[in-house]
Structure 1
Amino acid sequence: MGIFTVYFLMPIWWLFISATKNRSQFTSTNPLWFADFDLSTNVADLAAYDHGIFFRWMANSAMYTLGGAFFGTVLAAMCGYALAKYRFPGRETIFNVVLGGVLVPATALALPLFLIFSQVKLTNTFWSVFLPSLVSPFGVYLTRIFAAASVPDELLEAARLDGSGEVRTFFTVSVRLMFPALVTVFLFQFVAIWNNFFLPLIMLRDESVFPVTLGLYTWNTQVNQIPELRGYVLVGALLSIIPLILIFLLLQRFWRNGLGAGAVK
């Protein structure tokens, strides 16, 4: 465990150290130890570069991620709950199609999605990245398993006898029981959308709608022509992982509970 911990933390440590150095110190000092601690100056320079475009990219990523993760989790919960608690023709066929969607890598769908969005004139827009992020086959799979195990049919019958409608029962009763699984789905969606790169690379051309991953990649491709971008890429990469660290720290308790329950039920 110690070896694996060092293996995973070493790149983050290197990134943090590199982000605190100026351009001359990056190649002339120990790559794993501090020189002059210029992190605040580097962040200020990053914020001032190109009219603060980096923080526009961070805001874009936040909109893609928070909206996509929240609405994607709600849709996955509704689909998984319906597949678990209702009997209707084709239910198992639909679930098998969902399982097939879990096995298909997202990169394989990027080109078909581009062709679809180009037909409706939505490429190079916010919606071309946001709408595909609402679909989570893994979320449907996990919520179906969790709903089948954690939402008793007797409780649903009692709610119906008390006059509660199906939608009200879902949001007031079932969602509370499924909460650990929903937090787990939200976390996976958040990480996947925040780190999404290939779909925005295909869909977007306007820098004003870039997520931070694509923006940093664009800068990195220009390092040979504009050397100061190397430092901006390092500082930007450091800042871009902070939301992921925070969301893991805030939701790890629910994440562990959801994974454990989904594995044994």
Structure 2
Amino acid sequence: MTTLTRAPAAAPVRTAAGPAARPRPALLPTAALVLGTLYCVVPTLWILVAATKSRTKLFSTDTYAPSLDLGLVHNIRDLSHYQGGIFWRWMLNSFFYATVGGVLASLVSAATGYALAKYTFRGRNALFNTILAGVLLPQIVLAVPQYLLLSKAGLTDSAIGVLLPQLFNPYGIYLCRIYARSAVPDSLLEAGRIDGASEARLFLSVGLRLMGPGLVTVFLLQFIAIWNNFLLPFVMLTSDDKFPLTVGLYSLLRHGAAEASLYSLVITGTLLSVLPVIALFLSLQRFWRIDLVTGALK
């Protein structure tokens, strides 16, 4: 009977240079990453600490020493009572502008990107390059012409005047075109056309469904862009009750130049203005995971 014996494990080969050393992280990229992190974290940390301080302690205590009393609660209460609670009106305005503008801009970007990706027509590439060039234009260049056009139509100092220029998002169209090209197969569209489906039905029933995870990213980017937009509402709006948070907090800060006690309210309002964006990131995180898994499978 033949017996099988296990061969001894081969001894590790040692080179003259000794065991392989772990690669050291590059010093310059690591230092740049640390500096960039500090650049983002330090102002945020200051906002968190300053919001806990009362009006008297804001400038009399150490910068990064938080207050252990109920300074944050008092600041929120004072901010809520300022001019009859106009801060919460600004919060609702920002939420309205960002939500409605984000949804409408995402639909416009989806329709445009889908058409550029799935239809062949004369001048398609030239049109796409022209749209893409709009990404390079700064907002300050477009603000004054937009104001002049909307003022001729009598749409200034209104929600339409703020929302209408936000509906066309060149970067969102670029993302939707790329996503529609990879996520919507041509064979599925051809099968729908054979079954008698119209082009509008194909876009609504097939295109939008398959582009859904990508549209979440477009919506989030547009929501944040409108939420943080200052120049366009500042130019378009003149009524305090129609201001978004950015313009409202700026007006509050401008009044604080003559009344230093308002600085604590501005800081507290800035802290509260970040919370909806954080909540939106957390609530839409699962859609990003679906998008990443879908892209990996493809």
The letter of the residue matching 2:278 is I
Secondary structure of the 1:71 match is helix
Aligned pairs (5 A) from 1:33-52 = 33-35=65-67, 36-52=69-85
Between the aligned residues of both structures, percent identity stands at: 47
Task: Mark the CA change 1:75 to 1:251 in structure 2 (over 3 Å): closer, same or farther.
Answer: same
Residue of structure 2 in register with 1:181 after alignment = 214
Per the TM alignment, residue 252 of structure 1 is displaced from its structure 2 partner at its CA by 3.7
Residue of structure 2 in register with 1:69 after alignment = 102
| Residue of 235, 242, 250 corresponding to 1:202 | 235
Distance 1:31 1:168 in 2: 59
Per the TM alignment, residue 44 of structure 1 is displaced from its structure 2 partner at its CA by 1.2
Per the TM alignment, residue 259 of structure 1 is displaced from its structure 2 partner at its CA by 8.4
Residue of structure 1 in register with 2:40 after alignment = 8
Unmatched tracts of structure 2, length 5 or more: 1-32
Distance 1:107 1:208 in 2: 24
Distance 2:107 2:172 in 1: 10
1:113 aligns with 2:146: yes
Task: Mark the CA change 1:260 to 1:220 in structure 2 (over 3 Å): closer, same or farther.
Answer: farther
Equivalent pairs counted in the alignment come to 263
1:148 aligns with 2:181: yes
The letter of the residue matching 1:113 is Q
TM-score normalised according to structure 2 size: 0.83
Task: Mark the CA change 1:217 to 1:184 in structure 2 (over 3 Å): closer, same or farther.
Answer: same
| Residue of 248, 251, 260 corresponding to 2:281 | 248
Distance 2:122 2:195 in 1: 28
Q: CA RMSD in A?
A: 2.0
Once the two structures are superposed, residues 52-92 of structure 1 have per-residue CA deviations (whole angstroms, 9 ceiling, x without a partner) of 11110111111110000001001100000001101122222
Per the TM alignment, residue 205 of structure 1 is displaced from its structure 2 partner at its CA by 1.0
Residue of structure 1 in register with 2:52 after alignment = 20
Task: Mark the CA change 1:166 to 1:140 in structure 2 (over 3 Å): closer, same or farther.
Answer: same
1:29 aligns with 2:48: no
More helix by share: 1
Residue of structure 2 in register with 1:100 after alignment = 133
TM-score normalised according to structure 1 size: 0.93
| Residue of 84, 91, 94 corresponding to 2:117 | 84
Distance 2:277 2:292 in 1: 18
Distance 2:169 2:292 in 1: 16
Unmatched tracts of structure 1, length 5 or more: none
The letter of the residue matching 1:18 is A
Residue of structure 1 in register with 2:9 after alignment = none
Once the two structures are superposed, residues 94-117 of structure 1 have per-residue CA deviations (whole angstroms, 9 ceiling, x without a partner) of 111101111111221000001101
Once the two structures are superposed, residues 159-206 of structure 1 have per-residue CA deviations (whole angstroms, 9 ceiling, x without a partner) of 222232222221221222212221111111011000000111111111
The letter of the residue matching 1:195 is N
Secondary structure of the 1:184 match is helix
Larger radius of gyration: 2
1:232 aligns with 2:243: no
Secondary structure of the 1:108 match is helix
Task: Mark the CA change 1:98 to 1:208 in structure 2 (over 3 Å): closer, same or farther.
Answer: same
Residue of structure 2 in register with 1:57 after alignment = 90
Distance 1:232 1:175 in 2: 43
